[in-house]
Structure 1
Amino acid sequence: MTERSEYTKFYLGLAILAVVIFFVFILFGYAIVERNKPKSEADSGKKINTDTGPDPLITVVPEQYQNYDTTQLTISANDPKRGPTDAAVTMVIFSDFQCEFCKDARDTMYQLEKNFAGKLQIVWKDFPIPRVHPEGEPAAIAARCAQQQGKFWEYHDNLLENQTLLGNDLYTKIAQTLALDMDSFSSCVNNKTTQGLVQKTFIEGVALDISGTPFFFINKTRVSGAQSYSNLAGIVQQEIDKAALEIPAP
């Protein structure tokens, strides 16, 4: 009985050892597989692109357009403008030609311009987001090419009136309707001569935490999204009243 008991213990020990070795090999193999498995975006530390950041379809803005203060809104000589430069209120609109709500914002903007004549200046800044509106940037480039011939606002209106038709054929047709120099316009569009201007204001908007269009700055007041005429008019009037109370420096 004693000899049989010793044999039983011996074989039981071998069985336990075999099981332990088996599990060690399994764990070792799993570690190798996990080490060689490709990492997900979250594991690798990559950030998922959102509409609030620079769009990957927009290339890096040329160096000559990077020299501006991104901590506050700036208005450059290249930004299209309407109204008196000494107006009490400046309304800056970041907009996208393919944005449905931006067409409504245009109508409201013109109504404000009419009702606050002489007191309101309007400034346009491009903020196309190709991930959402693939024709936003090409349309903006074409409009800036029209700006070179003094026809930005006319071109701007035609684009917004024909949002469902945005494309090269429409860009050419509008230019012809406005009697632009077609050789100059076509060269500008084909070479994307004004792309840097469009990209500059897009990156400026991102730096100002703008995440969508339309977006307004009424003097220093930030207003996001489509707004009723009464809401915007109320803010404009407040800014006019505020300016009237300011005491001019001696």
Structure 2
Amino acid sequence: MSTLRVPIGPNDQVQGDPNTAKIVLVEYGDYQCPYCGHAFPLVKKFVEEYGDEVAFVFRNFPLTDSHQYAMAAATIAEAAGKQGKFWEMHDLIYNNQNMLSENMLKECVAALNLDINKIENDITTSNLQDKIEADFEGGVRSGVNGTPSFFVNGEKWEDYDGTYDSFVGLVS
């Protein structure tokens, strides 16, 4: 069984407290992947329903060979994070995944009232690409070969079957 090779750290996007949660769920995801799009509302419901019992970490794994906008979406989400709105952008992108395009990403920036100048500067001059590449490389080192890939408490979770019940089974 594969294990998470890169520990959760300060550069990760995290909901909840991984130090106190019973379940630490790490997802390697691609914003344009239809399977990630299907998993998104299930993960969201699971995190909301189980509250402090769950910490959720999202790491970028853009499959750029097959998903034209995956890297742009990951970059915009990380740039939004620099303005404290990663999760809002993450959710907005997944909620509108079927319309994913450069224009849709610009509309998301406007919808969240983000500073467009800061976004443009961040996506061209900051270390966002390095962060996304580090997420991707960490995923490869951990045995990720497709999206979504989940790790539960540091171990690759092979029992995700596309249903909400598979998540609920983690806490029972």
- Corresponding position: 1:83 with 2:16: yes
Compared CA separation, residues 161 and 192, structure 1 to 2 (3 A): farther
The answer on whether the counterparts of 1:146 and 1:152 sit within 8 Å (CA) in structure 2 is yes
Task: Render the CA deviation track for 1:148-175: whole Å, top value 9, x for unaligned.
Answer: 0000011011111222332322222111
Report 1:1-250 matches (<5 A).
Answer: 72-85=5-18, 86-191=20-125, 193-224=127-158, 227-237=162-172
Q: Distance in 2 between matches of 1:135 and 1:226?
A: 26
Q: How many residues align?
A: 168
**1:191 and 1:171 mapped to 2: Cα distance?**
18
- Percent identity of paired positions between Structure 1 and Structure 2: 28
Q: Distance in 2 between matches of 1:162 and 1:219?
A: 30
TM-score computed with the length of structure 2 as normaliser? 0.89
Residues 214, 226 of structure 1: 8 Å contact kept: no
**Stretches of 4+ aligned residues off by more than 3 angstroms:** 190-193
Alpha-carbon separation, structure 2, partners of 1:143 and 1:178? 11
Higher-Rg structure is 1
Contact 2:4 2:156 in 1 (8 A): no
Q: In the aligned structure 2, how far is the partner of 1:167 from the partner of 1:71?
A: 31
**Distance in 2 between residues matched to 1:98 and 1:234, nearest whole Å:** 27
Q: How far has the Cα of 1:93 moved from its partner?
A: 0.5
- Larger relative contact order, structure 1 or 2 (CA cutoff 8 Å, min sep 6): 2
Distance verdict in 2 for CA 1:226–1:79, change over 3 Å: farther
Unaligned runs of 5+ in 2: none
CA displacement, residues 11-67 of structure 1 (integer Å, 9 cap, x when unaligned): xxxxxxxxxxxxxxxxxxxxxxxxxxxxxxxxxxxxxxxxxxxxxxxxxxxxxxxxx
Gaps of 5+ in 1: 1-69, 238-250
Conserved? CA contact 1:102–1:226, under 8 Å:
no
Report if aligned partners of 2:69, 2:102 keep a CA contact under 8 Å in 1: no
